Structure 1
Amino acid sequence: MKRGKVNITTLGCSKNLVDSEMLLSQLDLNGFKVVHDSEDDDANIVILNTCGFIMDAKEESINSILSHVEDRKKGKLDKLLVMGCLSARYKEDLQKEIPEVDKYYGKFDFKEVIKDLNADFFEQKMYHRVRTTPTHFSYLKISEGCNRHCSFCAIPQFTGIHKSRNIESLVEETKNLVEGGTKELLVIAQDLSYYGIDMYGESKLAELIDQLADVDGLEWIRLHYAYPSKFPMDLLKVIRERKNVATYLDLPLQHISDPMLGRMRRKITKQETIDLIKKIREEVPGIALRTTFLVGHPGETDEDFEELKAFVKEQKFDRMGVFAYSDEDDTYAFKMYTDDVPEDVKQARAAELMEIQQRISEELNTKKIGQVLNVLVDREEADYFVGRSEYDSPEVDGEVLVEKNDSIKIGNFYQVNITDSTEFDLIGHLA
């Protein structure tokens, strides 16, 4: 096959994005012209990196496959390849239902993809990446898989058990990213809290973050998806004492009532959760906590939901997301429970919880008026430069709208005086 142009489209989470960046690098090293999520239709090879997490994500992935199948039928493509979570989970079904795809792969079959494109896999450059994010921030995936087996989650089915990467390789990759312009590192995993246990016999998350903080030129390190059960408490000292570790933590809680935590198999109680949050806030004053909740899980009663609402009002999380439960094949909940919460009730509960959070967010943002925040500028729009504070992660959190100023450059940090706010965003000008 000729060394043509490859367009990789990533669907789903930032962990998938890292996989796509690694594959783009391997193809680039082999002489392919590579693009990511390109809307141009001049690529002769398309690789879809799919998501299989929840129903909406699966539908998006399938629709994307079908759309590109039409291009394949019209002769616009030489190859259409599908990989990622959906492909790993439903490979046989997809082969039967959409046979026009040239080949389906699992989530980690990078070498097989490269081989099928008559190219070489450069083992020594396995973690090199073609960056798809803005130059100034990058994701660092420190492990694969998950050992927790929550009732509602299918992810362990296609990622397998938890597998940590060693500290040395992660520090080396971070140095390479910083040399390429990275100022903010978003440390991600399905379960940060478990990092190192499989490899070193104990949690090594605190040690890893401490070593990453030593990398010259790295100005922010941000942590996503720390499991609350058996949370590594020694991490809090690192967040508090290392200036370039953001006072920000993504801690998905999913629920708070003991009956629901039990049915979800979260291995933590309500009181243990409350104690953990209190400890985190005591140890790291001013920390921004982001969390996620799941409503409509089988067995969730009105009383459970009222308890969750009261908890959200009391704790006043800085950032929050809400998902409505959907039955996922072969999960514990799918096999053991009846999906007994009506869909309209699920959606109503999700909307009500987000309305509560909107009011909390508006209240917290109002208190920031008059403060001066350190802001990393991500992009320029018609009326503002758009950036983020230490308390905001890209894509999922609020933003800071900064009045136009000729001295502002994208990818740089600026001190911004906050003059106004909305429910989720802040407004200001250079201090």
Structure 2
Amino acid sequence: MHINIYKNKIFLSILSILVISSCQTANKAEKESVDDKKVISEDIKFEEYLSTQWNKDLEDSPVFASLLGDKRFNQEITPNSQEYYQEKINKLEKKISKLKSFNINNLNPDNQLNHKLLSLNLNNSMEATNFPSYYMALNQRGGVQSYYETGDRLIYSSKSDYEDWLVRLSKYVDNINNTTLNLKEGLDKGYTQPKLITKQVIIQIDNILNSDIDNHPYMKIFLSADDIFFQNNEKNQLIEDAKDLVINKINPAYQELNTFLKDEYLPKSRDSIGLSDIPNGKAWYEYVARYHTTTDLTPNQIHEIGLKEVKRIRSEMEQIIADLEWDGDFKSFLNYLRTSPRFYYDNGEDLLNAYLIMSKKIDPLLPKIFKVFPRAPYGVIPIPEESAPFTTTAYYNAPAKGRPGYFYANLYKPESRPNTKYPFLQCMRQYPDIIFKYL
């Protein structure tokens, strides 16, 4: 009897433990279920926010939307008025505030990364508002004087696409006029581009204004429009409407801007090149360094890294010179590379062919390094003649929906462009570096 009572006590104790354990397990499971639901709920809300924000960003960047194949904003431009820039700051503040309302710890790993990336992007954009780049919105590589190049990047698959571009251009006249106003205000506050850059921009605008209407850079899209999209006299009417816009709106706006640049802006433009001679220039340069390197390194620290790299690269070059048994010093070898005719092409056509051939040499080597490749193909084409004298050796434009990516090669003065740089240049500006960034 005593033994049975003891056994019953053991049984009851075990039963109690099991019941308590079961309750604890149930409570734990219930808590985990609640936590899971909280994470799922937060993820759903966050992803809805991302979707909404993406659509707002497309609306604020209508050309970017068009390049993605989204034609909802095909007739719109991104303004450059003072009111727009203030509105942009207000929007950024709201975006940052909304992003902070999400508890990053309640998001799944993918969305935690999305949260961090978006936070970095928004905070960078907000910091950039401390530096009024719209006061120096023109340079030799781009500005309102080269908006016609935007038209070359768009896809035209219907008559309405050409009509939309015409409407866009009509609205862009305001941006040309606003640029004049912004530069005037910047001039009063001590913000100017270097004289060297101002002179080049003036030449670019002069070239536009001196163009015959049938060779005008803003007419190219309309004159070359595919006949298949038009009926009867529709294309001729489109061309006439475009000519009217160019002659009566676009050219006068450029003329006013260029007169201001020549008479007022150029005489007061700074002689220095760097940002140090403009208000808050040192802080501006430090921000640009952080932004482009995605680090917190100072310009001086970056410069020191550069000096070490120059020393390392020179050491490798000297070894190559020794291996070649060059009869001369380092300086004479560099002079040979810069002056020997064997390293240059006589004309732009040969230069372009060299780029094309190098592309095909690089392509078959890539599977040895990469397993995932971009879906969109790429092409190699010349930089437009209008901008070639004022821009870099090459650049890349990402693919758009229905259009491949393009590596743009500068064919201006081929006798000044050594072919020794092509392999490196194309790997950096084409495959694999830039193109693979758009995977």
TM-score (ref. length: structure 1): 0.26
Q: Which has the higher helix share?
A: 2
TM-score (ref. length: structure 2): 0.26
Q: Which has the higher strand share?
A: 1
